[in-house]
Structure 1
Amino acid sequence: MNLGVQHFEAQQPYEAKPSPTGQAHGGGEKFIDLAWLTALIWRHKWLMLGLVGGIVALTMIAYLFAEKVYEANVILALDRSEQQIVRTAQTNRDNVIDSPAVDTEVQVLLSPEIARNAVIRSRLNTDAAFLKAKVPDTTAPLSVEAATNLVRSGLKVERKGLSYAINLRYKSNDPEVSAMVANAVADAYVGGQVQAAQTARGSDIQMLRSRLDQLRGDVLRAEAAVAQYRARADLVSISDDDTIAQQELSTLNTELAAAKADLAAAQGRASANAGENGSVVNSSPVISDLRRQVATLEQKLAEQTSSLGPAHPDRVRTEANLAAARTALQREVARASSGVGQDVRVASQRVGAIQGAIGGARGRLLAGNNASVRLAELERVAESSRQLYQTFLDRYRVQLATRGTEKSKADIISRAQTPRLPSSPDILVYMIGGLAIGIVAAVGLALALEWRENGIRTRTEAEEFTGLKVISSLPDIATMDEPDFRKGEPLSVPDFLATHRESPFAETVRSIWTALRIGQKGQLAKTVGLTSSIPDEGKTSTAMALVRSAALAGRRTLLIDCDLRRMGTTHAFGLGEGPGLVEVLSGLSTLKEAVVVDQSSGAHVLPLNTTNSNNFDIVQSDMTAALLDHCKAFYDLIVLDIAPAIPVAEARAVAAMADVVLLVVRWRTTPKPLLKTALRELHRADANIFGLVLTQVDARSAAVLGEDMAYYQYYYARDKAPLPV
């Protein structure tokens, strides 16, 4: 027989180390692979949920047995202004509450004195409930100091934000005690402030009364000194004297100014009338006549001078008349000028007299001013004493009027109520903490399981690890929500395929012979061997499903059981009584006599005889290769159900006789080292490994991972129309 079989060059496997996030280094590496994390959580969801639930349950048990602490709250508000019936500007200015004052009051509330007052006022050191809550082992009364320390140990005071409110809290394992002590401390604080204010006001009244007696004497002495000096200086009313002297001086100054003005006017007139061209001289009619006479005589003399001699009587008479006229004119001008000078002298004397009067008035005013300086000083001392006395008197009256109206500068706006729920432990904190611890533990457990797991999880991981392509991923039908699937029966998977040809599982099986182009032009192989690394990986179910799928599609198919030890195909179909593969190879039976037809699909099956199947050497002989070549003429597809490659030696020899070999890998179960060993052994036997087939893939996890069956299931869920036969 011609044993010439077309061989395909197989890729050599290599090992790709996965990254910490589950993404192989061969592809695009991500810092966090969300798909891998999602798949991890989905695969271990029930275990993780159980662990989280258990830890939360333990946390709640711990909460139930934890000691309960109750917290009671009192809210106090500080008044921002002094509460007084009679207010003064000084009082309001000194008593405005500011932010540091609020912080100071917080420290006051935490002081030992407030806690001590609370113990004394409420008698906490002898209170049975307080003693039972704080000192369960004794019922004897405590000292005030010991009770004070116990009160301070559970007390907490803090300011509420930036407001003027103070939150006072007290913790105790007894809810009634927590409310009682919180109210006792608040009452001690408020009551103590009122008592302190009353004591301070009494002290202020006593001090003011003593001071008023002293100031009253000071006022009387100062006023007596003013009266004595006024009498000694003969000053009935220095203010009136000052006014008269100042009025007199003002009048004289006015008259002096007028006299000086007259003097200046007279001097001006005198200057203007000095000589023959003065205004007074020019305005005099006598002087004017005399000047005309002089002019006439001068003109006449000039005429005579030109015609008469010096001794001529007319000329002499004219000269005599001219000299007489001139003398009269000079005399008249002198008389007129002397009258103006007299006015200047009179005005000058009047100015001197007024200036003398001013000097006298100024001297009297200066004397009065010197006396008033000392008097004013004495009056200022007296007025200062009166004002100081009046100020203290006003304060004394205010203190008397407001006696008995003292109140605390803090008001209790919310008294403590008995708490119903404990403040510690907080059930929400316990739940959140337990949930967080449970989640962390669950994730840690999942990671630990994942670390221990050494199987193939995704197509990408399988291809990167082996260097071979994944022909198909067959889902676990039990994870596909198919109610009529009978899990555990020998023919459960092939029967499901025959009755559910429209299912995603059937589509994944069809993808195997479609990839090999079975029955098509350019068919890649006719004999296909299915083997696995170790047993129980689903190779027999895959082989039967593959044969039935191709047969139902009209392909001529033959399934040969080559697993001499387990005979999975033979047992699944209920055969083994008649002749089988060994009998055909031995010549004890013909192929036609040994082949059985599968009624569900029309596929042919060559089983093994259960009583004569220990001839291991004949299966790996050349007769098997010749049989396969003979069958190629009658069948489109010949499937060999081969034993696992690692534990069975003849499996590798039979695999080498097939055109191609499909290595079946169980999802998340087949250890990677064994898978690597199987590939190495098959390559050493010159088997032509065409690719991998992943089996029993969890459909839900695969959907999360984005495997191809997720899209099959989505498609068929929307279109339930049966495929044509």
Structure 2
Amino acid sequence: MQSSEIDLKELIGILRRQSRLILITFFVFLIPAVLYLMLATPMYRATALISIDAGGSNLLDPGSIENSQSAILNSRVDGEVEVLRAEATVMAVVQAGDLISDPEFGPRLGLTEKITIALGMESAGDTLRQAVGLRPADPPSSERLVSNTVQKLSGATEIRRRGLTYLISVGVRSESPQRAADIANLYVATYIDRQVLTKSASIIAARDVLRSQTETARIELARLEDALNSFIDDNLARLEAESNNESISALRRQLEAAQSSKVESVSVLAASREAAARNDWASAAVTLGDAALEQLANEREALARRLSGETAGSQTAIDLQNALSDLDRSLGARLAEAQTSVEGELSALTQSETLAREQLREALLQSNMSSTVIADLFNLQQSASIARNQYQQLLARVQDLNALANVQIADARVVSEALPPTSPASPNKRLIIIMALTAALAMGVTLAFLNEYYIGGVTSTAQLANVIQARIPVAIPALPSSANERIPADEIMVSPLSQYSEGFRKLRLAVDTNLHQSLSERGVSEAERRKARVVLICSALPGEGKTTTAIALARTYAVSGQRTLLIDCDLRKPSVENYFKLPHQDGLIDYLTSQKPDADLVVTPVLDQLSNLEVITAGSRSTQPTDQLVNSPRFASLLEVVREAFDVIVIDSPPLLPVVDTRYLAQMADIAVLIVRFSNTTQGEVRDAAHQMQDALRPGVRMLGVLNRQTERRGKRGYYNGAYSGYYGDSTT
């Protein structure tokens, strides 16, 4: 099978094993979201739209906005956003709408006050204070009540700039649709009124400071500038006809064309920016008339449709998402390039308009008109020029302030009044449900993998190698479903060519290889090497497949032609006899606890019916601590005798963590094999068992790890509560 198929199976297996945790996490996240949607009060949001004259409403120079820098204009719009958010503006709205008495925004009793009033205890607090010599608590002041209302209105109001345009939206949330629209409209109206008052007050104050010294000069300069501009603007058509000069007509048409083209360019640029702000690439491409941008927008739309049809988290979805991100960057770059081109055109139009005005004035002065008109025009222009040079910026400012003080208008206007919304803005049920489902599923899967790889059991040979810091020769595969009714160890004889049997042959090869290397490193004599090799099979806990592995490995050795002996040293809870379905007879425990002299003792191995394997069963259950038995001279003597008669001795030992017997057996082993059941034993338990085994082994003796993927016939809880207790239980039971 391909590695990708194996990874997919493992992934599905992890999710199946952790399905309970995933479901619990899923509902933990989903239920609060559903309860919130059921209990939350629907809130409606009405939005009013205002436009800011970023250059200022200067009636004396309506075209002054054209000469302003973009950064300054943007700063002005951003500043107006902050003015709208200011507490003083909110306070003015509260006063204008009398929101202190409003049932939604005005002061309301809290839960404690409601309970106190319901119980008739509203005066109990003051009575208690008087009893201890304190004065009654002061009632809330009017300033505090207004402040609470201001905070509520600020929290219910959203003010933001629409992209890079000069439009600002003022949105208000309320429990009532009509109330939300009324307050939003009141908000913008109050803001505009305050803006007019503020501008007027500041201009009047500045004008009064300068008027005492420059009144005469200001009036003269204002008169001359107004006269020059009015003369040209009011008499342009008559002057053009009187001069009969084609250049003046051409300049007039050039000026009007530049103004018209400029308005169109500004509209295109604003529309494209607004479309880009809402990621509407197709509309931006059509507005700008850019074929390359339109093609990229079509490609993105096709890619997004493909992505919506893929499973979230899959490799294809990730690849499509990455491609979509790259395409978004390309779209942004192309859009910026197209907008830069439009901005260049807009700049050229501005320059053309300015140049046309200057050329028009020069052409009028040089045209063939009556001497009276030429004299009037020249005198007005010369006088204004002299006034500007003489008084420079100070007198120009005085004139502007004087004019603006008399005819001040707001720099903002309402372009769209707020209307009562037809549907609530919050809670957004669809968004909340999608977010809750996504978060629940993501957190469930995350916790599942954390539990699988870090909190729960061992799931891979690489993970096991990191935990026990030892060689991992093989992972014993799970039996196919057709073999579930057989004893796993019988698979070695019944299906010798199966993947399960091949796994044990790999284990046998790894044991032989490491034994040979270990004996060479330890410098064991040739005579000692001719004795049987003692292979200790151990595990951290019961139920990890230790006995099954011992039998299967021993059978593998026996089938290969080697004289093999299996000894059941799990004296606390013998199980080898049950595996082979042997009638009860005296075994190792009876041999070790017998009162007969050593010369009269005999322990008879039992021959396996499926192989040439010989087995020494545990026999009767021990009535004394078994660690004394496996650490006794009699057991050591027995082991020395059988080592002379066999080639391989496989010892099935008790689990390491419940009892101490295995640590004594480890001192007699030539190699140890630690069995760990897949996703069953926690990493801490495996690590503790490995440390105990490595500490007990003789110097130079190696330990191997084996990951047992065989499905456990009974749950781990049963081993803890049943089999585990058997190692500690009363010997008489």
More relative contact order, 1 or 2 (CA 8 Å, 6+ apart): 1
TM-score by length of 1: 0.44
- Which structure shows the higher helix fraction? 2
**TM-score, with length taken from structure 2:** 0.44
> Rg larger in 1 or in 2?
1
